[in-house]
Amino acid sequence: MGEAAKASESARTITVEMHDNYYEPESITVKPGETVRFVIENKGALVHEFNLGTAQMHETHQRSMQMMVDHGVIRGDHIDHRMMEMDMGDGHSMKHDAPNAVLMEPGETKEIVWRFGGATDLEFACNVPGHYQAGMYGDIEFE
Nearer to Cu ion, 37 or 131 (CB): 131
Q: Is 61 in the site for Cu ion (CB under 5 A)?
A: no
List the x/- string, 20-49, binding to Cu ion by CB under 5 A: ----------------------------x-
Cβ 18 to Cu ion, closest distance in Å?
A: 7
C-alpha to C-alpha distance for 44 and 47, rounded to whole angstroms? 8
Are 94 and 84 within 8 A, CB to CB? yes
List the x/- string, 110-139, binding to Cu ion by CB under 5 A: ----------------x-x--x----x---
Instruction: Say how far residue 67 (Cα) sits from the centre of its chain.
Output: 17
Q: Are strands 35-42 and 78-79 parallel, antiparallel or unpaired?
A: unpaired
Nearer to Cu ion, 9 or 26 (CB): 26
Q: How far apart are the first and last CA of the chain?
A: 15
